[in-house]
Each structure stands twice: as structure tokens, then as C-alpha cells.
Amino acid sequence: MDEREILADVLRDLAQTLRHHQDLGVTEISLAQAPVVDPREALRTQEAALQGCPRCKLSTSRTTVVFGSGNPRARLLVVGEGPGEEEDRQGKPFVGRAGQLLTKMLAAVGFDRERDCYIANVVKCRPERNRNPEPDEVAACTPFLMAQVDTLQPAVILALGNFAAQTLLATREGITKLRGRTYEYRSSVLVPTFHPAFLLRNPGQEFKRMAWDDLKLARREYDRFT
């Protein structure tokens, strides 16, 4: 079937649909577009809906739901694992030692944390004693992370560490195998790298060099799409 035949079929179907609505008494069909949602308001609504969240056992030990912070119109989304003690206290992601290192890492490739980035975590509540999030906890929080991704529509997602990369890419591969390349993720490019907390625990030059390469890769992809 050529393009003219396809178009003719579409028009016939449209005409039949319009006649059906006319028979039902419909005299006017609105073609109004859906209103454009401001990302700041959308994120604010999502955050408000999460307050008091009881969806997993992390709710019994947290002090604060740590939703996310940064520029709602940023084209770079940074995703970490979950809040630590200081984040739980302040209600903001990456404000402890790992957060300070993250700020320096972003600045090293020309990203201003407040202006150019939005930062969130896979889980929004602190696991007790900073343990790893459990699968049911990640599953409970994943819809909220997806809502953030869909609202922000970032050009680049920087996934920090195993949990962020594995959750977003739906894989069990570790960060050492995942890093060093880009992945298509919805309408974004995803770049996995080491979590700043890992780099603080492993200060050797090898991991530092690999993280630097990943950051430069994220910067190149960002510049390519913005």
C-alpha cells in the first residue's frame, strides 16, 4: 500500500468517526491542547504528595522525606542512591561530605550545582545506618523518580553508583562495568559513574581518573544536546 492509499484510508476512517459523532448529536469537537505544566509547580506538587509517605519501612526511621533540589529547568539530572544522615536532617540531597565532593566534581567540568543541575535520589528516605536500600524500598520509590525524570526532561542523566545506574537501566551489572559509555534512556542520555561516597572511601588515582573521564563524557553529551 502506497502513501496515497494510506492517507485515503485515514481520511475515510476520520469521516466515519465524524458521522458517528454527528448521529449522536455532537455539533462541536474541541481541539484545545492540554495546558503546559510548569516543571517547578509539577515538582512541588509531587513533593507535597510524598510528605508522610508510608509506602515502605524506610518511613519508620526517617526524619524527613528528601525529594530533590536544584533548578527545575535544568538539563542535567544527577541521581544518587539515597539520603544519608545529614541529608535526612536537612531535607536536601547531597549536603554531607559526599555532597561537597559532588559539587566540586560538577564544577570541574563547568556545571554550577544550583544553576545547571537538579539532584535527586533513587530512594527518598534514609535507610537505617546508611545500609543499602532493599529491593522493595527501591520499587516503592521508583515511580516518584520516574515522575521527576518525566517532569524535568533532562538532556543528560548522571547516575551515581550501583543503585542509581542499576535502577534506571534495569540491570544487575555493577558500576565498574556500566561506566565509561552512554546509554539511551527515554529522551535522555544516561552516563553512569562512581558515587562520590565511593570515591571518598577509595581515594586512589585510578578511580579518580575514571570518574574524571565519565564527567567529561557527560559534559560532551550535554554540550551536544543543549
CATH number, domain with residue 196: 3.40.470.10
What's the first-to-final CA gap in the chain, in angstroms? 39
Distance between CA atoms of residues 8 and 3, nearest Å: 9
Same domain, yes or no: 139 and 111: yes
Do residues 121 and 58 lie in contact, with contact meaning Cβ atoms separated by under 8 Å? no
Q: Show the beta-strand stretches assigned E in the chain.
A: 69-70, 76-80, 117-121, 156-160, 183-185, 188-193
Distance between CA atoms of residues 31 and 41, nearest Å: 25
Same domain, yes or no: 93 and 205: yes
- Domain count for the chain: 2
User: How many other C-beta atoms can be found within 10 angstroms of the C-beta atom of residue 49?
Assistant: 12
Do residues 80 and 122 lie in contact, with contact meaning Cβ atoms separated by under 8 Å? yes
Do residues 87 and 96 lie in contact, with contact meaning Cβ atoms separated by under 8 Å? yes
Same domain, yes or no: 104 and 208: yes
Report the DSSP pairing between strands 156-160 and 183-185.
Answer: unpaired
Distance between CA atoms of residues 173 and 165, nearest Å: 9
pTM: 0.84
Same domain, yes or no: 59 and 15: no
DSSP 226: -
Same domain, yes or no: 56 and 11: no
Same domain, yes or no: 102 and 23: no
Phi, psi of 117 (to 5 degrees): -130, 155
Distance between CA atoms of residues 222 and 226, nearest Å: 6
- pLDDT tens for the chain, 226 residues: list them: 556 676 666 677 667 666 655 665 666 666 555 566 799 999 999 999 999 999 999 999 899 999 999 999 999 999 999 999 999 999 999 999 999 999 999 999 999 999 999 999 999 999 998 899 999 999 999 999 999 999 999 999 999 999 999 999 999 999 999 999 999 999 999 999 999 999 999 999 999 999 999 999 999 999 999 8
Same domain, yes or no: 46 and 23: no
Do residues 189 and 157 lie in contact, with contact meaning Cβ atoms separated by under 8 Å? yes
Same domain, yes or no: 105 and 212: yes
**AA letter at 145:** L
Same domain, yes or no: 21 and 132: no
Same domain, yes or no: 25 and 72: no
Same domain, yes or no: 97 and 132: yes
Domain that holds residue 48: 38-225
User: How many other C-beta atoms can be found within 10 angstroms of the C-beta atom of residue 62?
Assistant: 17
Same domain, yes or no: 1 and 100: no
Helix 205-225 vs helix 97-108: crossing angle, to nearest 10: 60
